[in-house]
Each structure stands twice: as structure tokens, then as C-alpha cells.
Amino acid sequence: HEFIMISSIFTILDTLLRGPEWVDCIQASDMCNQNPYCSSRYRVMRQCLVGKEKEAMLDNNRECQAALEVLLVSPLYDCRCKRGMKKELQCLQNYWTIHMGLTEDMEDSSPYEPVAPNRHPDVFRLASISSGFHCPDAERNCNPCLDAAKACNLNNSCKRQRSTYIATCSKEDPNKGETCSKKRCHKALRLFLDRVPAEFSHRLLFCPCQTEGCAERRRQTIVPDCSYRDKEKPNCLELRRICRQDPLCRSRLADYIMNCWTTPHTVSTCPNQDNHQACLASYARLIGTEMTPNYVDSSFSNWTISPWCTCKGSGNQEEECLNFLQYFTDNTSCIHERGILYSGKIIKLNMPHHSHSHHIPSLCLLKQLAHQNRRFMIRQFMLHPR
């Protein structure tokens, strides 16, 4: 009986975890607009999110709260967006129309379609940025990042898009008296990463190094003097606040955290059963936003990534600031330790088989349930407040 009860519990949990089939948020918006009741509440909600007082409006305005309650049970609540879709920004704006006021005190869930778990976690392309790479020719001075640039130049699309963003990010902006226009630079970087196949772009971003010269070339890939650095370092919480005002930056930050962050107690080194490819893609898509990350120096053995921000002067918010910053600084095991090295070789890893491994699926399931269904609990609270 105990086995049957446990089995039934996990069947219910699995059903909850999968949830309903999602539609993209542009379709969901069209479906809502076809219903007069939903459409009128949708218009009200958009007005509630206009201007600097939107947080106060969502908290205190009864009309805004009533509109949100209706929309929480509409197709818009469970909608998602496809990465790289044609109307991605419009889709994300539709998503945040509802979700903007639901997660101010917690980390956002990703608005993008769910990432499939890695079906074969023991077989993938291996990129060890900090160790494990050896030059195939001992007599040759190896520089994988230089090789990555050469490979890019042999591909017309990669060469053209790379030349464009380097020129844009190196051009002075006389109107502002600055060395470059960061806004134009970010746009050019996003176009490069959206249009160039990952086999070229990821090879430039994640090339493994064993010398400082190689690591410095890797650090310079995104032209950091324009795209990354600024005159002053903002506080990381302020940078996060600015990022969360922009639907694209907010979405890609949430996607990065969901696909890359693991706690010290997590069994795997990456979410979604060691899906490192999803993490690398999410990291790359964050480049070209206000939260652009980069290597902080040219170290090849003890490297760190971070956005351009600091937690100095955080006062009583220092712990919150450091917790946010560690999504980048303490996340090397997922981003690079077993990421993708486009060397053309498939390496099979001998993963240890623990005797208690049959307990892992249930643990993962519970972790995912707690994380992915928190919005369900928020909806229930808002619809049935005590």
C-alpha cells in the first residue's frame, strides 16, 4: 500500500510539473482579445504598467488587482516565447504584462519555452576552459581562441557579422563625447549571436586556454571597452533593477539563471540533467543586454565571469547583492567546466554510478516542482486570499 501511495503521489507531481501545453504569448494575446471580458481587463492591465508608479498601482489600485485576477486564469498566464522567434520582443512584452507584478520579491521564472533535459548526460562535447585541454602538437604554440577567429573568417556569415560588431563597438560617438555607443554595440552583438551558428560564436566565447595571451583574446571577444566596461561600476542590485525594466534583459537574465544556476547541494553540475548546451546558449544570449557578462581578467587557470557591477556600498542589502552576484562568479562548473568545445571530437565521460542513484529522479522532481510551480501558488493566493 505504501508503494502504491508513493507511486500515486509522484504521478500527481509529474502531472503538475508538466502542466498544460503552452502557447506563445502573441497567440495568447490574440485569444484574449477575442474575448470582450478578457480584452477589457488586458487593456486595463497595460495601463497599470505604464509609468514609474507601476509597482504602487499593482499593489494598491483595486482596478489593477481585479484585472490581474482575471488575466491569471487566461491563456496569457501560461504562455511562453520561443528563443529567437520573429516577434520575440513583442512576445516577451505580452508575458511581462501579467508577470511583472508577481515576482518582485523573488527571482523570475524564464518566459521562454521549457528546455528539454539532457537525455545523454554522459556523452557530449567537452570544453574545459580551465583544465583538461592539451595542445595536439607539442611543438606548436597553441591558441584555440585564435583558431576560433580563423574559423569564423572562413565562414561568410560569421566573418561579416563579426566585422560589423567589432567596427560598431570600436567607433567613437561624437554626440556623447564617448569612445563608442554602447547601445549600438549591444545591438550589433545581439545580431551576431542571433544570426551566427553556435559552432562559430560559442567557439569564440568559450575557447579553452592555457596561456594568458589566449585568455586575453577570449576576454576581448565582445570588445569589452565598449560593451562591458563603463566609467563607474554600478551596484549590482541597481544594475538588476535597470535590467528588469527592460523585457529583453529581464527575460534573458531569468533564462540564464534557470538554465545555469545550481546550488552546492545539487546532484548535477547543470540544471535539466546536465544540459550544458542550454546554459551556454543562455549565457551567450545575455551578451548585448545591460547585464552583459564577461571574463573579469586574462587569467586562464582561475577565471571568473561577472557583469560590470559591484556590491560595495550595498549597506544592509549586501547579502542580497552578493547572492545575486554569485549567479555569475560562483557558477563556473555549469558554464564552462563541461561546456562545448567545438573541436570536432566527441569525448565520452565515465560518470560514477552510485548505488543510491535510484533516489535521484525523485529529488530532482521535487526541486523542479518547488521552482516551477511557485507561480501556481502565487496565483492561488491572489485568487483566494486569506
For the segment 36-67, what is each residue's pLDDT rounded down to a tens digit? 989 998 888 888 877 655 565 666 678 888 88
Cβ atoms of 348 and 122 within 8 Å: the answer is: yes
Mapped onto helix, strand or coil, the DSSP state of residue 219 is helix
Cβ atoms of 240 and 304 within 8 Å: the answer is: no
CATH tag for 235-348 (out of 1.10.220.110, 3.40.50.150, 3.20.20.60, 1.10.10.10):
1.10.220.110
pLDDT in tens, 344-380: 332 223 333 333 333 333 333 333 433 344 444 434 4
Whole-angstrom Cα distance, residue 274 to residue 368?
14
Question: What is the predicted pLDDT for the residue at 118?
Answer: 61
Domain ranges of the chain: 22-97, 142-229, 235-348
Whole-angstrom Cα distance, residue 340 to residue 277?
7
Residue of 137, 166, 145, 368 whose CA lies nearest to 267: 368
Mean pLDDT calculated for residue range 140-169: 93
Mapped onto helix, strand or coil, the DSSP state of residue 81 is strand
pLDDT in tens, 195-251: 999 999 999 999 998 899 999 999 999 999 999 999 899 999 999 999 999 999 999
**269 or 118: which leads in pLDDT:** 269
Alpha-carbon torsion, ordered 177, 183, 186, 192, to 10 deg? -100
- With 0-12 / 13-18 / 19 or more C-beta atoms within 10 angstroms meaning exposed / middle / buried, residue 285 is buried
CA atoms within 13 A on the CB side of 65: 10
Whole-angstrom Cα distance, residue 297 to residue 254?
25
Considering the entire predicted model, what is its pTM?
Answer: 0.76
DSSP code of 333?
A: I
Whole-angstrom Cα distance, residue 371 to residue 383?
20
Say which residues have a Cβ less than 8 Å from residue 214's Cβ, sequence separation at least 6.
142, 143, 144, 145, 146, 207, 300
Question: What is the predicted pLDDT for the residue at 267?
Answer: 65
Q: How many CB atoms lie within 10 A of CB 90?
A: 15
Whole-angstrom Cα distance, residue 82 to residue 22?
11
Which cell is 70 given? 482575471
